[in-house]
Structure 1
Amino acid sequence: MKNNNVTIHDISRALGIDSSTVSRALNNSDRVSKKTKEKIVEKAAELGYQRNSLASKLRTNRTNTIGVIVPRISRHFFSSVISGIEETAFKAGFDVIICQSLESIDREKKLVETLLSNRVDGILISISMETTNLDHLDNYKKNGFPLIFFDRPCNVLENTNVIIDDLKAGFDATAHLIERGCKNIVHFSGPQNLELYRNRKKGYTNALNAYGIPFSKSLVIESQLMQQDGIDAARQLLKLPKVDAVFSANDTAAISAMQYLKTKNINIPKDIAFVGFSNEPISAIIEPSLSTINQPDFEMGKVASSLLFEQIKNKKYAAENQTKILKPYLIIRNSSKF
């Protein structure tokens, strides 16, 4: 049974060992022999000693806690990233505070303030759809506060980021549709203030250019890619001439669009083929199953948190901006098979 009143001095008296040696042993210091360390740990357990983590944190000026801000925890992609972060943090001896901005810049700013007031040692953040600049973070970064952006970067050259190759992913998704004979390909695009959606769109236009297909602005439908946005986009594309395929910048909009089009007797993929993005679990079980881009989400969490811990341990790394680019890949399913 743990006893909050037991101190290192009690252990010291019980063993006849100097209290400084007891302290070093309980902190797993290499300066204490294995035999002595085992004796001290055993006696500490016997007496019910409970380490005062708050005092330890005050001494080291660290809380061994990091903050994570994501747009929506409910998204499978972000929950998988968080799993990678948590696993890495646990092994490193860090706790994790998880927050969601719900795509609101005001909420994001408030969350940053809350995490900093709780003295987190660093922050991992995927910015909201409303975020157009990093004014609410710049001062902290300039002062060397450990900060990593993942999935949704902002000012890539001025920050440390962990992202996927959205440009290549957009190209591969569009090229796949073209190689199956599609020529009038609509792109469901996300907000263009976010770099990942700009790159997915650029990959789309690059593929059109590579295959000699003219780009048309009328075939790009921009939205926040929510469920209703997919339905609205489907209604809009039915008014366009001869649309034969859709590359959607996420699965959510693609799936709701497909469901709506089926109610209008549109055959997928015979009439309109679809490729989504993110490989949400539902994409494999809907009818027809959705071709999509798979993102290394769990790996992203592990890589991003590892970089953050490097910055925390050695603040000089916080000033060295770098971008880690992870590789996505195309999964071909029935929505684009002819």
Structure 2
Amino acid sequence: MIVKSLDLENFRNHKDTKILFSDRFNIIYGDNGQGKTNILEAIYLCASGRSHRTSKDSELIRFGCNSYNIKAFVVNSGLDREIDISYFNDQKKQIKINEIPLNKLGALMGNLYAVLFSPEDLFIVKQGPMERRRFADITLSQIKPSYFYDLQLMAKILKQRNMLLKSINTNPSLADTMEIWNIKLAEVAASIIISRRKFSETLSKLAQNQHKYLTVEKEIISFNYNCSFQGNDDSKREELIENYVRILEKNLTRDIALGYTSVGPHRDDYDILINGKSLKTYGSQGQQRSAVLSLKIAEIELIYKETEEYPVLLLDDVMSELDDNRQKYLMDSITNVQTFITCTSDTHFRSTLKEKCNYFKIEDGRAAGEF
């Protein structure tokens, strides 16, 4: 998987930026606030269909303009692909692959795989369940488009069910229609749970191998899926559906009072453990950094395991957050991966990187490249 080039038009602070990349290392450097991260954001958007920094496409438009356009030229499984994403104010995002419009966002998944690593990834450990679900959901959506559609369907069903819960307060007879929404929700929830369970098992094993090496076998990391209602990890699809419907019925009075669905995959979590103890509660800052590093490298391996294609790696100002040992571990672990690194200074990489490398100095949304 290689990103050959990127064209940005009115994206963030980039008016008209065209960049040709190395298929190995790309060092994107310059002062803060010049537009380095915006380049990684555009690549990530081409892989996942969303920005990692905002949920509003309107915020991605250059100030004073009314649209943006991104073109990424990608080699995937030996085939050339042009990913074209456009957005006009107050209109739906338009996506094309090789000039063919996509009707659904899910059709974008699988054309470009990307793993992003930034200082904010410590939120995976430090913050609430939403950050951990987001981490897992984005990776799963890239490698399994059907999972992305399941998430979209669950969101629609939850919206309808929650509206019904609020309406029952004023019209109790509507409670008779709840059964159909319970069944619909349970069916899609079962698919999501099964996918998350498999994902966490695979990622946990891969991360353990990485983390043992990083910590000289002093620590064992676990990334465990914690389903909010399922007690049996071996439950099959039909069992999951029956169990969830039963929980929804049991919680109906409570959900009506709350006005929303209180239990389900939309509220599930993942436990990150070091030697069996909560990393969030008991882990030091250094342990948390090491754990996230291990998870990110495991994410690369998982994508390769599932797709036989290595993702591109986007390192957004993370090298300054890692000590020399962790930096070396990271660089030694990405020998087969096209890598994009943002930083304020290129000096360190010029003296240490011996492989093929392109350098790009970013100033006020403009890129000057050295090849």
TM bucket, shorter chain = under 0.3
TM-score, normalised relative to structure 1: 0.24
TM-score, normalised relative to structure 2: 0.22
Going by fraction, where is strand more abundant, 1 or 2? 2
Bigger Rg over Cα:
1
